[in-house]
Amino acid sequence: MTMPQNIDLDAVNEQLADASPTQIIQWAVDTFGDDIMLTSSFGVGAAVMLHLVSSIKQDVSVVAIDTGYLFPETYQFANQLTEQLGLNVHWFAPRLSTAHIEAVHGRLWEKGDAEYDQYFQLTKGEPMARALKQLNAKAWIAGLGAKQTAFRATLRAVELQGDTIKIHPILKWTAKEKYEYRIKHNLPEHPLHDKGYATVGDTHSSRPITADDKDERDTRFHGLRQECGLHLPTNEAEEDSRHSSGL
């Protein structure tokens, strides 16, 4: 299947304005077929999106980025969900090992803003670009929530990032709705959730939430950033295309 060349993003988003997550996913599957993938960090709450999408397309390609710095509990949780839901998971890792990156560049996450960008590109951006190309993905389903970050609050159900259509089925769901779905379907929670983690990424960029935190995302990247960069436009042209109504 080739990607449709006449998708009108404004029209699609109007069509899906009142659609449920299941209806949005079904639209994506009907539109893109096998040229679709789902990304998962296997973090807190990841089970909800994995269950939603795999219930509609069991063989959907699930892309997970192994930065080399994930918590042991994340690997264990990923294996648990893969077996429980029968997931088709594709792990992608940086071309350079963590030891290689640190030997050449040092501990980039402990340095400045530019070094953060370099770290994200090496450990997440490059593997994700490779995943999109290798899997020939024309559409990318992601479990972003509008209340998670300032950038995510600007998103619609269907957007354009580079040459890839991004679909956000649970963008409007509240934490309560996600919790109720997880309980209804008897889905497990990330083991670090019970240790105070509201969001989980790399070991050096995640910590338990405290009473002083105004937002759960303050526990990521030492409070310096809300986004890892994986879901952000990479340049002004991409940002402009995100607001374009045509593809």
CA distance 229 to 57: 27
The catalytic position among 50, 70, 131, 228 is 228
Both tokens assigned to 124: 């997440």
Q: 228 catalytic, yes or no?
A: yes
Between CA 125 and CA 188, with CA 30 as vertex, the angle to 5 degrees is 60
Q: Which helix (DSSP H) or strand (DSSP E) does residue 89 occupy? A: strand 88-92
Integer Cα distance of 197 and 175 in angstroms:
15
Burial of 88 (0-12, 13-18, 19+ CB in 10 A): middle
Measured at the CA of 139, the angle between CA 135 and CA 140, to 5 degrees, comes to 85
For the packed helices 46-56 and 175-184, what is the interaxial angle rounded to 10 degrees?
60
> Sign of the CA dihedral 77, 81, 84, 88?
negative
Catalytic residues: 228
